[in-house]
Amino acid sequence: MNTTENKIKVLFIINPFSGVDRQKAMEQHIAKNLDHNKFEHTISYTEAPQHATQLCTNAIANGYDLIVAVGGDGTVNEVAKPLVGKNIPLGIIPSGSGNGLAHHLKIPVEPQKAIHILNAFTSKKIDTAEINNRFFLSIAGVGFDAFVAKKFANQKKRGFLKYAEIAIGEYYKYEPEDYTIMVDGKKVERKALFISFANSDQFGYNTSISPHAKIDDGLIDICIMKKVPLWKTGFLAPLLFMKKIDKSPYVEIIRASEVEIIQKNKRINLDGESIKMSENLHIKVLPRSLVVIVP
């Protein structure tokens, strides 16, 4: 039997937003499914926005070998930030609404299955990205995407149905905007409903905004979506789930390692979180800068 000295020290950082019952259930999943011969584990709970980043920073300083984010894309983002450029891997137990990065990496949403992936301890290096020096892992976006993210953030009820309800309710009223984009130094001008900067293929909820995006190719997929006539939206939406949205004439995808964009609205969507930034945005890829536990 392994001694404590040669076990892998792992910290689980849990976002407890769903309440005490969910916390206890996750503790039980960890107790039952984690390989305790291989791992020595500790559990911490986040208490406020950005607390996960501080917990991860402290864990690095205290010699932990693996940090696991238990939550949605926002929690994963916060935990991952201090791990960029280090050889300490990030683990993911998805328990949020969209779980975009987990879906892209084929990490199951069932906690016991996600923990079994941690037990195997197989890792790969993936790209991360920055937008005006703000870190993101999966998707950043401007326009209607960011507008809906802001509305969604203020809802008590979460999940795909609530997100879809907001998007459908606001779609008709939202006017496309003009964007000036510098793509690796080349100027591109577009009128768009929204523009997503995709490091992974995932828009969240297992919908694919950029079906051929690779998370380790050193590139960002710039996904430019025109506004679709209302009567055609019913035909277009299924393409997101079928991973065929790139076949639509309303979608243009350009790949780049560095992007600059000028927009009128200062609101952006950053891994599912709605935040304010300046009108001028600078996006760049940090190739293979994060180690992640994967199936």
Select, from the ranges 83-97, 150-164, 226-240, the one with the highest average predicted confidence (pLDDT): 83-97
Q: What is 134-287's CATH topology? A: Tumour Suppressor Smad4 (2.60.200)
Select, from the ranges 55-64, 155-164, 224-233, the one with the highest average predicted confidence (pLDDT): 55-64
**Phi and psi, residue 32, nearest 5°:** -80, -35
Q: Is the pLDDT of residue 20 over 50?
A: no
User: Domain-by-domain residue ranges, the chain?
Assistant: 4-121, 134-287
What is the Cα–Cα distance from 128 to 220, expressed in whole angstroms?
10
Higher pLDDT: 32 or 272? It is: 32
Per-position DSSP letters for 66-80, written without gaps between them: EEEEEESHHHHHHHH
Q: Which of 52, 125, 84 is nearest to 292 (CA)?
A: 125
pTM of the model: 0.89
Read off the pLDDT of residues 167-216 as tens digits, 9 standing for 90 and up: 888 888 999 999 999 998 899 999 999 999 999 998 777 888 899 999 99
Quickly state the pLDDT bin for 22 (edges 50, 70, 90): low
Q: Is the pLDDT of residue 120 over 60?
A: yes
Q: Is the pLDDT of residue 4 over 70?
A: no
Q: Is the pLDDT of residue 279 over 80?
A: no
Q: Which CATH architecture group holds 4-121?
A: 3-Layer(aba) Sandwich (3.40)
What is the Cα–Cα distance from 250 to 290, expressed in whole angstroms?
33
CB 210 within 8 A of CB 119: no
